[in-house]
Amino acid sequence: MSSIPWTERFRIYLDFYFRAETRYNIHSPFLFDLIEFAFDTDRIYYDFNILQEATNCILRNQTSIPADDFSVKHRQNNSNISQLFLKSGHSSDAYECLYRLACFLKPNKILELGSCAGMSAMSLALGYKPAKVISLEGNEYLSSFANSLFHQFKLNTIQCLHIDFNSFFETQTENDFDLVFVDGDHNYESTLANFSKINHCTSDKAVIVLDDIHWSSGMYAAWNKIKQDPSIRCSLETIRWGFLFKNESLAKGDYTFIHEKFKPWKLGLF
């Protein structure tokens, strides 16, 4: 991912910026409510202290990641846990947003593709505590680390499986995941292939969230192709994530969202 030219990413972000609307121009009531709730940084919870404590635990961990086929292929074996988290993890604001997203949607069953150190899964599980959370990780050491983190914070509703995505989907016979967070295999072909498999194991009101949709032209092309799939009722494109909604009761359309601080002249006054 680090080999993507900055000029390519700049062009993609610029395209998004010119098209993006503030929340005041989002005319879908459901999406407006979701944006108001999930992206409201003034909506603070005591659980955020737990997320910060878990983050600090990860950042203090200097254990080297062992070399195996997976870690070498993904250039992880020359890092320790802290370094990998700083490189591949999200910001505190992003984890808090995932927490509020789960709190808003109240999904019964959550799937995450790509665990890293386990913080995204923790955020989603804390956001809606009755939910069952399954997180997939191809690196055996990271999978074990994530499970130990969940155990440390007494989160028994999360399970991190050491399994590749294809093998996991081959075992799935039910379509009951209500929320899926895709944070692995950031390229065009894998994203399309993963979406096709995800789509078969999600409920009819599921929300699928793709991470880093603006990271490369391949990811951006995959996002634009996927959101046109007949199974997707509407989509929401944000600065980092792409949201796909299957619920047939929602207003059909492709929406964009950027915070009004980046477009202060778009306050819904006109």
Region 134-156 average pLDDT: 96
What whole-number distance in Å separates Cα of residue 234 and Cα of residue 195? 15
* Residue 236 vs residues 80, 105, 231, 253: alpha-carbon distances, Å: 35, 15, 15, 9
Task: Round to whole Å and give the CA distance between 197 and 84.
Answer: 28
The closest of 114, 29, 42, 35 to 74, measured between CA atoms, is 114
**Which of 90, 42, 70, 87 has the alpha carbon at shortest distance from 209?**
90
Residue range 229-248: average pLDDT?
Answer: 97
Instruction: Find the mean pLDDT for residues 17-29.
Output: 93
Q: Which two tokens stand for residue 62?
A: 């200097």
pLDDT level of residue 264 (50, 70, 90 thresholds): confident
pLDDT band at 184 (very low <50, low <70, confident <90, very high): confident
pLDDT > 70? residue 131: yes
Cα separation of 258 and 21, whole Å?
Answer: 6
Question: Which of 171-175, 219-223, 239-243 shows the lowest per-residue confidence on average (mean pLDDT)?
Answer: 171-175
- The per-residue pLDDT for 268 is 57
pLDDT at 3 (0 to 100): 65
Fold of 8-58+93-256: Rossmann fold (3.40.50)
The pLDDT, as a whole number, for residue 270 is 46
What residues contact 35, with CB distance under 8 A and at least 6 apart? 23, 26, 236, 257
Tell me the pLDDT of the chain averaged across its residues.
Answer: 93
The reported pLDDT for the residue numbered 1 is 45
Percent of the chain with pLDDT over 90: 82
**pLDDT at position 141, please?**
93
- List pLDDT tens digits, range 192-233: 999 999 999 999 999 999 999 999 999 999 999 999 999 999
Whether the pLDDT of residue 261 is over 50: the answer is yes
More confident of the two residues 143 and 76: 143
Name the token pair of 36: 């108001």
31 vs 242: CA distance, rounded Å? 13
pTM of the model: 0.94
Tens-place pLDDT, residues 32-81: 999 999 999 999 999 999 999 999 999 999 999 888 888 788 788 788 99
What average pLDDT does this structure show over 1-29? 88
In angstroms, the CA 96 to CA 6 distance is 27
What is the arrangement of strands in the sheet containing 158-162, beginning at the earlier edge strand?
158-162, 132-137, 109-113, 177-182, 202-210, 242-245, 234-237, 253-256
In which residue are the tokens 């980092």 written? 240
Q: Please name every residue paired with 244 in a beta bridge, in sequence order, or none if there are none.
A: 208, 235
Give which of 112, 105, 244, 81 is closest to 183, Cα–Cα.
112
Q: Which residues contact 37 (CB under 8 A, 6 or more apart)?
A: 43, 100, 103, 104
